[in-house]
Structure 1
Amino acid sequence: MNQLFTIGQLSKLFNIKIATLRYYDEVGLLKPAKVDSETHYRYYSTEQFERLDVIKYFRALDLSIESIKDFFDAKDISILEKLLKEQQAKVDQQIKTLQTVNKRIDTRLKQVKSAKKAILNKVELVNLPEIPVIHLQQTYQTGEDIELPLTTMRQQFGLDKSIFLGKISLSMSRENILSNKFDQYNGILLILEAGDMGEATSVLPQGSYLRIRFHGTHENATESYRRLLRFSEEHLLTIIGDAIETALIDYGITNDYDKYVTEIRVPVR
């Protein structure tokens, strides 16, 4: 028999934990060449080195233990090709998932950065792209608990796995704005991003918007709506749709009220 190595020696040679080698033995993936009947010590031979190299290679590709066992049981090129193709498909999906996560992180970073640098209480005329949303048409009064309607939205649109942080907006009807009723909203919106669960029920249309950002939350929005109205009248602009109000920085990401920033945008022509 070739030279024998203890499990500790094999662990050092291949940089594999002893516990992992014991597990490979238990599941039948890598049996020792010899087990001492009295001490129960495991011993491995050089003939097993190649098998362990293959196991390490497959594990580096994140193949499951069962898949590796299937390969060794068959030892066939077609099985190897099948395993690698299946794993490649999984990796491709993981890459797509990570790319989506990266986009979400980038979006949130840009949102926070933009809010931190915003000139507050200044009305701007901006052009914005179309944005897909899920819109729950439900009245919401300033000061009410928003968690209940959010729960309703989750249930109604099957959004149990969706992440709402930084993507919730309130809508205020054009009629209420023109009537100077700034304490009642007519809907709650979830801004959809790539990879979100659920299909859009509507969109925020592409076009021209008046936008203002201010310090505070929805409860501090009244003066900003008045500024938007004055600006539209002074510049002969017509409000053509509902306002969208979004907390860019609030209690969800900071305990410092002085850093709260909320944005209102209203479509005009």
Structure 2
Amino acid sequence: MKEFFTIGEISKLFDINKKTLRYYDEIGLFKPSFVNKDNNYRYYTLDQFQYLETIKYLKELGLSLEKIKYNLNNVNLEEVINSLEEQSNIIDEKISELQFIKKKINNKIIQIKESTRDDLLDIIREVNFDERQAIRLKNSIKTDYDIEFCLRKLIQMSGGKIFLTYGLVGVSISKDDLISGNFDEYKSIFVIIEEEKYDKSLMKIFPKGTYVCIRFKGIHKDAPPYYEKLVNYIRKQGYEILDESLEMELTDPSLSLTDEEVIMELQILVKKS
């Protein structure tokens, strides 16, 4: 039976990089049985195999090398159980986070697919929406530069928790400006959120109700004629404007689309007579 094993042989037997084995030696986690002083070659023995297998097992469970070293140097079943229970809780938290992210991704897929429907372009629709919550920054916005600057400011104010890849980004024209026909200045910027928690001072609730909507290909500067169409429609129907507008880019801005591919939607909450 073979008595000694080189670092290369151990690397192949356990599928562990030689550089990793050297690092384990350096930090005192897994040292060779002896080192040849003439050539500094590391040699391991058969009775070390189970020890290394245990390190691999605990590492695959997600324990840090520091915690693995502590557990192996203080062989105590109670300590091992505590470490594994702690790691199990961490994994549960990660699973919840990933499930939440997956939900957002699926919502984004549905949103992008639905936004590309040509039959919904340039027509006025009345759509019933449930209550939606957003994180919002009130600020005068007149240019694309203002939009980008305010969006970065909003992200900063939120503690960097907003993920623009998943949330709908929009700007708003005030109720008074909608009524008076002033469509060239936005009064706030927002990001639709789902279940996240933010400072209440940043929150905006878009109420449940009927929204008069229109969808078009273009960017923010192309929006004024569509606002005019919506407001004229609202007046003809005898409806009352109840809140600020929602002007949202339905296609994901992170995809770096050309202006011709961008789909915008305007929504105005109304009260029917």
* TM-score, scaled to structure 1: 0.90
Shift of 1:107: 2.4
Q: What is the aligned partner in structure 1 of residue 211 from structure 2?
A: 209
Alignment-mate amino acid for residue 59 of structure 1:
K
Is 1:122–1:213's contact at 8 Å kept on the other side of the alignment?
yes
Q: How does 1:1-269 map to 2 (within 5 A)?
A: 3-118=3-118, 119-141=120-142, 145-155=146-156, 157-165=157-165, 167-195=168-196, 198-199=199-200, 200-249=202-251, 252-269=254-271
Unmatched runs of 5 consecutive residues or more in structure 2: none
Counterpart secondary structure, 1:102: helix
SS in 2 for 1:231: helix
Distance in structure 1 (CA, Å) of the matches to 2:14 and 2:153: 55
Per the alignment, do residues 161 and 250 of structure 1 end up closer, same or farther by CA in structure 2, a change over 3 Å counting?
A: closer
Unmatched segments (≥5 aa) in structure 1: none
CA distance in 1: counterparts of 2:258 and 2:79, whole angstroms: 58
Q: State the Cα RMSD in Å.
A: 2.2
SS at match of 1:101: helix
Query: Do 1:244 and 1:265's aligned partners in 2 also have CA atoms closer than 8 Å?
Result: yes
**Alignment partners' CA distance in 1, 2:47 and 2:139:** 71
Q: Is the 8 A contact 1:250 1:261 kept in 2?
A: no
Q: Which moved more, 1:233-242 or 1:189-198?
A: 189-198
Residue 71 (structure 1) shift: 0.7
In structure 1, give the amino acid aligned to 2:60. Answer: A
1:84 to partner: Cα distance: 0.2
Q: Please give the secondary structure, in 1, of the residue aligned with 2:106.
A: helix
Distance 1:24 1:197, change over 3 A: farther
Partner of 2:105: helix, strand, or coil? helix
SS at 1:32's partner residue?
Answer: coil
